[in-house]
Structure formats: structure tokens, C-alpha cells
């Protein structure tokens, strides 16, 4: 652990061009993607009761809020490109920073891009009148998903302003679409159906083990609340705007997610939700017919495309920062001379995503992403305990109810990981994912952890 907080000033710098609204749009845009439209079915299958299903969404929201409050403090003190990588590095040392980047490189970011792009492609073909669930269309869907990744990579290489504009426009469309679904469900659907909120807790609809497994799916939907931190080196007036955007954007997402799930239950019974892979479209069809399906399908298509754009706007900054620290190949830190973007890092991240989308299913991608990321979320949040004792640590915002807020977050992570290892249906996949992350330790000591760095 360093004796003082590291000062910015890496050899390659990015431009500070993101204002407050664009920063909030990054938080909302990177969070609202495919999860709220795809995950409710799996969650309802594990917790087939209105109250259990809603409780796990509330728990996921609390989890995200506690994390956002803590990282808002750390980000205001360390407003550098790289986000959670920087927090792990400065809080726990270079090995922790390297492992974070290794996990992102080997699995996390590629899995995220793959899962989001598959949902985008599925809804695109549904809008076009082609059944994406037909096995004959499997590879057409996957190749189009790969094309979407390549296209959004181009937007982000072309310039921060273009990527931010795409993010801002799609955020308005996706958030507005969810608001519309909520209003229609309560205004038209609820009076006709009376809602499907009872019995609130059917027999056998809740166990702690099932709650833990469902919470993993919920966290896939909530993931993205911390992604703005990766772009901290590009935020204008980061001491003020980073905490405001992280907290405000997270609260906005939690609110619309809870309302969306209430809207689904207002229109559809829990038994139908649990088998609906495209639940938002099914809910709209129940109220508005084919017009509703078309509207929701377009909304989800725009939402997931916007999230693809935002993920490629945020996550390549991890590898850029690592290369600046000589923990990764130096050319990855290259900045485009004309457009001022980390174009090599963006290209590499997109290429990994394309490989994953052509080789794995949505469920495999989503579960691998959440499991691999949880330990690093814990390290980043726990860094606040170490950093508060380091000279030079001067955040402009301090997490309220400290240390309760970060402890609650960390307790949730430990519960989720322990539950995933204990349960037979998730044990092998969880240990395999954690094994890939742990493989980064010998790689570190064989390469950049040696006295003579090999990646210079």
C-alpha cells in the first residue's frame, strides 16, 4: 500500500469534456440496459411470489446505493481515469490493481458486452418480424450482435463528444420508455386486471438460498452504477460532479426499476412473468396489443444499443490506465492524435466482446460477469477504510453513516459469493470463474510483478 495518495499526471492524458448531465447519463446509460427487460423472468422463477420478487429488487437497489455512496467519496479523492482499478491500486497495492484489470481482460468486460449485444440483437430482429428464439436464427442473431459491438466501438474511437451524444440520446429514450410502460400499466392495465399482487408470498416462494441466487441476477440488472468512475479523468470539476452523478444516477435507476417491476405485476401474473423472456414486451402487449409490443421492442433495442455504447465508453479506460502504470502493454495507452480517445484500448475491448458473443449464451455471459466482478466491487469499496488513513486523502464528499454503508455493501458481497459456492447448481461455475481471476496472481509475478518489468 502506498504511503501517500498517487498524484495524477500519467504520460498519456485524456481531455476533461464530460459535464454533469453527461456524467449522469453515463451512470444511467451504463446501468439500464438489458437487465430490467430480461432478468425478471429468471428472478421470478427463483422467487415465484410478488413480495419475494420485489424484495430482491429492493435489496439490489440498496446494494447499489451503498456502493455508490462509498465510491462517490473515493472517486472525489481520486478523480483519475481507470476508476475501480485506481481505487484497488491505491487502496491495496499494484497486485490488486493488476488482478482487477486481469479479471476485466479475461472475462468481465467481454462477458458484459456479449450479454448486452445479444439482447439488442434479439429485440432488433423481433422489431423486424423475425423470431430471434428460432434455432435457425441463432447465428444470425449472434453475428448481428457482433456487428453492434463493432459499430459502437467506432463511435467511441471517433470522439468523446460523439459517444457522449449517443449516450445522452439513448438515455432519454430508454428512461422515457420505462416511464411510459409504468404509466400505461398503472393507468390502463391495473384498472382492467386489478393487479397480480396477491397472494403476496405463496407457499414455497421464498428461501434464503433462492434469494441469494436471484440477487445475482438482480445485480446484473443494476450493474453499471460505478462505471462513471472509469471516466473520472474526463469529468469536468470532478470533485463536485463525480459524487453528484454517481449518487443521483443510481437513485434514478433504483426508482425506475422498482416501478417497472410493480408495473409488470400490475399486468401479468407471477407465473407468466417467470416464463417470459421478453417481459416488458409481453406486458405492453397485454395492455396495448401489437402496438405496445412494437413500442417496447424499439425501446429495448435503443436501450441496449445505448448501453453497448456506454460500456465501450467506460471500460476501455481500465486498460488505458493500467498501461499508463506499466501494468499492461504500453501501446494500449495510445491516444488518437486527432480524436483524443484511447483507440487501441477500445479496439481491444470490442474484439474481446465479439469473441465472447460468438461463443457463449446470454445466461452464461451474465452469470460469469456478476460472479467475477463481485470480489473487485468489494475491494474497491473496502479501499475507503485504508485510504482514510493515508496522508493526502482529501475527498470532497464523505459517505454518510460511515462505516455502516460500506460494511452493508461488503456483507452483501460475502453473502452472495458464499451462497453461490454452497449451492450445487452454481458451485462449479462460480469456482471456475473465481479460478480464472486467481490465475492472474502467478501471471502478475511472472510478468509485471518481477523486478524487471516485461511489458514496457
Tens-digit pLDDT profile for residues 140-168: 989 999 999 999 999 888 877 777 777 77
Q: Is the pLDDT of residue 456 over 70?
A: no
Q: Is residue 183 part of a domain?
A: yes
Cβ atoms of 366 and 220 closer than 8 Å: yes
Cβ atoms of 314 and 228 closer than 8 Å: yes
What average pLDDT does the segment 354-364 reach? 76
Report residue 174's pLDDT band, with 50, 70 and 90 as the boundaries.
Answer: confident
Predicted pLDDT at 385: 96
Quick one: residue 72, left, alpha or beta (phi over 0 = left, psi -120 to 50 = alpha)?
alpha
What average pLDDT does the segment 371-400 reach? 91
Flag the least confident range among 154-158, 242-246, 404-408: 154-158
CB atoms within 10 A of CB 343: 20
- Better-scored residue on pLDDT, 306 or 206: 206
In eight-state DSSP terms, residue 340 is -
Flag the least confident range among 116-130, 262-276, 396-410: 116-130
Predicted pLDDT at 3: 40
How far is 105 from 349, CA to CA, in rounded Å? Answer: 8
Q: Is residue 82 part of a domain?
A: yes
Report residue 451's pLDDT band, with 50, 70 and 90 as the boundaries.
Answer: low
The residue with cell 479501499 is 383
**pTM, to two decimals:** 0.82
Q: Is residue 87 part of a domain?
A: yes
Three-class DSSP category at 451: coil
Strongest mean pLDDT among 87-101, 334-348, 415-429: 87-101
Predicted pLDDT at 361: 67
Task: With CA atoms as reference, report the closest residue to 416 among 107, 59, 100.
Answer: 59
Q: Is residue 1 part of a domain?
A: no
Q: Is residue 4 part of a domain?
A: no
- Better-scored residue on pLDDT, 369 or 215: 215
What average pLDDT does the segment 221-232 reach? 85
How far is 322 from 318, CA to CA, in rounded Å? Answer: 6
What average pLDDT does the segment 167-191 reach? 88
The total number of structural domains in the chain stands at 1
What average pLDDT does the segment 407-431 reach? 84
How far is 366 from 381, CA to CA, in rounded Å? Answer: 22
- Better-scored residue on pLDDT, 452 or 160: 160
How far is 145 from 147, CA to CA, in rounded Å? Answer: 5
Three-class DSSP category at 354: helix
Predicted pLDDT at 51: 95
Report residue 95's pLDDT band, with 50, 70 and 90 as the boundaries.
Answer: very high
CB atoms within 10 A of CB 86: 30
How far is 53 from 153, CA to CA, in rounded Å? Answer: 36
Q: Is the pLDDT of residue 365 over 70?
A: no
Predicted pLDDT at 97: 92
Predicted pLDDT at 1: 41
Predicted pLDDT at 255: 95
Q: Is the pLDDT of residue 8 over 50?
A: no
The residue with cell 477500445 is 346
How far is 221 from 187, CA to CA, in rounded Å? Answer: 26
Q: Is the pLDDT of residue 171 over 60?
A: yes
Determine what percent of the chain is predicted with pLDDT higher than 90: 35
- State the chain's mean pLDDT as an integer: 85
Residue-wise over 359-395: b if at least 16 C-beta within 10 A, else e? ebebeebbbbbbbbbbbbbbbbbbbbebbbebeebeb
What average pLDDT does the segment 37-41 reach? 83
DSSP for 30-83 reads HHSSSHHHHHHHHHHHHS-SHHHHHHHHHHHHHHHHHHHHHHHHHHHH---TTT
DSSP for 361-407 reads -HHHHHHHHHHHHHHHHHHHHHHHHHHTTSTT---SS--TTTTHHHH
Predicted pLDDT at 447: 84
Predicted pLDDT at 62: 93
Q: Is the pLDDT of residue 94 over 80?
A: yes
Which three three-digit cell numbers place residue 332?
A: 494500449
What average pLDDT does the segment 353-359 reach? 85
Which three three-digit cell numbers place residue 344?
A: 487501441
What is the CATH number for 157? 1.20.1740.10
How far is 176 from 184, CA to CA, in rounded Å? Answer: 12
What average pLDDT does the segment 239-259 reach? 94
Predicted pLDDT at 220: 72
Flag the least confident range among 5-14, 37-46, 140-149, 282-291: 5-14
Q: Is the pLDDT of residue 259 over 90?
A: yes
- Better-scored residue on pLDDT, 15 or 31: 31
Q: Is residue 456 part of a domain?
A: no
Report residue 6's pLDDT band, with 50, 70 and 90 as the boundaries.
Answer: very low
In eight-state DSSP terms, residue 152 is H
Q: Is residue 10 part of a domain?
A: no
Question: Which structural domain, as residue segments, surrounds residue 89?
Answer: 20-446
Q: Is residue 365 part of a domain?
A: yes
Amino acid at each position: 500500500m502506498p504511503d501517500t495518495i498517487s498524484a495524477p499526471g500519467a504520460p498519456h492524458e485524456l481531455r476533461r469534456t464530460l459535464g454533469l448531465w453527461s456524467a449522469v447519463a453515463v451512470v444511467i446509460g451504463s446501468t439500464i440496459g438489458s437487465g430490467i427487460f430480461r432478468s425478471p423472468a429468471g428472478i421470478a422463477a427463483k422467487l415465484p411470489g410478488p413480495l419475494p420478487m420485489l424484495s430482491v429488487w429492493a435489496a439490489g437497489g440498496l446494494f447499489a446505493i451503498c456502493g455508490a455512496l462509498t465510491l462517490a467519496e473515493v472517486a472525489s479523492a481520486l478523480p483519475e481515469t481507470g476508476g475501480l482499478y485506481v481505487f484497488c491500486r491505491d487502496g491495496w497495492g499494484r497486485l490488486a490493481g493488476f488482478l482487477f484489470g486481469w479479471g476485466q481482460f479475461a472475462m468481465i468486460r467481454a462477458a458484459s458486452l456479449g450479454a448486452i449485444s445479444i439482447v439488442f440483437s434479439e429485440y432488433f430482429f423481433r422489431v423486424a418480424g423475425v423470431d430471434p428464439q428460432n434455432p435457425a436464427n441463432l447465428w444470425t442473431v449472434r453475428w448481428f450482435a457482433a456487428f453492434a459491438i463493432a459499430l459502437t466501438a467506432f463511435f467511441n474511437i471517433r470522439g468523446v463528444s460523439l459517444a457522449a451524444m449517443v449516450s445522452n440520446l439513448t438515455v432519454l429514450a430508454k428512461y422515457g420508455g420505462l416511464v411510459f410502460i409504468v404509466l400505461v400499466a398503472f393507468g390502463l392495465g391495473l384498472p382492467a386486471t386489478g393487479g397480480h399482487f396477491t397472494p403476496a408470498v405463496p407457499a414455497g416462494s421464498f428461501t434464503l438460498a433462492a434469494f441469494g441466487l436471484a440477487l445475482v441476477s438482480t445485480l446484473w440488472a443494476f450493474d453499471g452504477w460505478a462505471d462513471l468512475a472509469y471516466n473520472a479523468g474526463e469529468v469536468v470539476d470532478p470533485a463536485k460532479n463525480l459524487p453528484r452523478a454517481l449518487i443521483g444516477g443510481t437513485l434514478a435507476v433504483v426508482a425506475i426499476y422498482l416501478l417497472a417491476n410493480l408495473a409488470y405485476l400490475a399486468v401479468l401474473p407471477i407465473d407468466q412473468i417467470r416464463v417470459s423472456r421478453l417481459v416488458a414486451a409481453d406486458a405492453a402487449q397485454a395492455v396495448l396489443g401489437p402496438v405496445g409490443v412494437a413500442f417496447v421492442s424499439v425501446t429495448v433495442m435503443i436501450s441496449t444499443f445505448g448501453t453497448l455504447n456506454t460500456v465501450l465508453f467506460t471500460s476501455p479506460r481500465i486498460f488505458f490506465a493500467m498501461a499508463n502504470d506499466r501494468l499492461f502493454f504500453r501501446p494500449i495507452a495510445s491516444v488518437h492524435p486527432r480524436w483524443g480517445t484511447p483507440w487501441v484500448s477500445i479496439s481491444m475491448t470490442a474484439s474481446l466482446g465479439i469473441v465472447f458473443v460468438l461463443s457463449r449464451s446470454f445466461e452464461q455471459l451474465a452469470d460469469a460477469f456478476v460472479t467475477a466482478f463481485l470480489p473487485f466491487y468489494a475491494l474497491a469499496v473496502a479501499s475507503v477504510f485504508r485510504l482514510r488513513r493515508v496522508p493526502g486523502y482529501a475527498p470532497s464528499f464523505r459517505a454518510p453513516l460511515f462505516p455502516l454503508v460500506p460494511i452493508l455493501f461488503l456483507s452483501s458481497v460475502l453473502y452472495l459469493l458464499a451462497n453461490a459456492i454452497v449451492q450445487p447448481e452454481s458451485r462449479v461455475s462460480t469456482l471456475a470463474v473465481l479460478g480464472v481471476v486467481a490465475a492472474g496472481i502467478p501471471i502478475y509475478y511472472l510478468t509485471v510483478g518481477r523486478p524487471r518489468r516485461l511489458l514496457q
